[in-house]
């Protein structure tokens, strides 16, 4: 089994926000990273340069459209080609926006389910043989709202709920060689450019959270790091990182 200092990790949507925090945390623990991005090329290159400055040739980046299933095996294959192996797959990339009943289109369905559910299925399938070989693991980033769906976000909630079921299904299918777990963030980072999340909304969320504050991207990153490095007897589990908000909705 690979040691902590030389795990090779492929992470989707790792160029910014929570994904970048996960990359920094794992890299600090010695991982080599293949950071996937779709459009955030400047952020991806900046993060690659930052981390390679700390440890030479430890980070590579790869562009890909997760909507295109035919491209997904290439993300896995290019990671193996570049680093010589693959130990961990982190399905972090996500699309998030409201879809209210009466306004949902097939385009919404394909867009939201592709990044949040379809890509994780086909990436896991493409990586399965390599992960089995190295007794690796998969970590999926879900959402606290899979238990109590967020009003107005029907398709997103369905997709993330599917990702939880996928986590448990893969834990069964890939055992005993591969562990599969998920992290379900709560109020950690506010969505960008969304007027719904104004100060009144934010304060209401804080009041509903047992710890009476929002979390940080680093909280999610540490949870992922735990599941990758320090949880050898945990599989099929969803770890909530929500300050207790899911208990108080």
Whether 206 contacts 212, CB under 8 Å: yes
Cα angle vertex 138, ends 186, 157, to 5°? Answer: 35
Beta bridge partners of 34: 10, 60
**Measured between alpha carbons, how far is 20 from 209 in angstroms, rounded to an integer?**
25
Q: How many CB atoms lie within 10 A of CB 5?
A: 9
Task: Write out the catalytic residue numbers.
Answer: 156
Cβ(63)–Cβ(13) under 8 Å? no
CA angle in degrees (0–180, nearest 5) for 15-31-134: 115
Cβ 238 vs Cβ 181: under 8 Å: yes
Q: Could you tell me if 181 and 216 are in contact, meaning their C-beta atoms sit under 8 angstroms apart?
A: no
* Nearest C-alpha neighbor of 149 from the set 133, 137, 162: 162
Per the listing, tokens 């990586």 go with 127
203 touches 147 (CB < 8 A): no
């Amino acid at each position: 089994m690979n040691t902590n200092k030389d795990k090779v990790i492929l992470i989707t949507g790792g160029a910014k926000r929570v994904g970048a925090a996960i990359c920094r945390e794992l890299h600090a623990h010695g991982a080599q990273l293949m950071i996937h991005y779709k459009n955030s090329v400047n952020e991806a290159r900046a993060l690659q340069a930052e981390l390679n400055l700390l440890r030479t040739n430890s980070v590579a980046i790869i562009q890909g459209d997760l909507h295109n299933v035919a491209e997904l095996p290439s993300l896995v294959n290019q990671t193996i080609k570049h680093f010589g192996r693959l130990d961990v797959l982190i399905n972090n990339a996500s699309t998030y926006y409201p879809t209210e009943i009466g306004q949902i289109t097939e385009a919404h369905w394909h867009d939201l389910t592709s990044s949040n559910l379809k890509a994780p299925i086909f990436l896991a399938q493409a990586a399965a043989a390599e992960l089995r070989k190295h007794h690796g693991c998969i970590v999926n980033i879900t959402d606290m709202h899979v238990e109590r769906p967020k009003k107005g976000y029907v398709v997103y909630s369905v997709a993330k709920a599917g990702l939880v079921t996928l986590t448990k299904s893969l834990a069964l299918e890939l055992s005993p060689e591969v562990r599969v777990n998920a992290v379900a963030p709560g109020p950690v980072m506010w969505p960008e450019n969304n007027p719904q999340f104004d100060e009144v909304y934010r304060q209401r969320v804080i009041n509903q959270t047992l710890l009476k504050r929002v979390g940080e991207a680093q909280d999610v990153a540490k949870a992922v790091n735990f599941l990758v490095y320090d949880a050898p007897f945990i599989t099929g589990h969803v770890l909530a990182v929500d300050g207790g908000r899911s208990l108080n909705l």
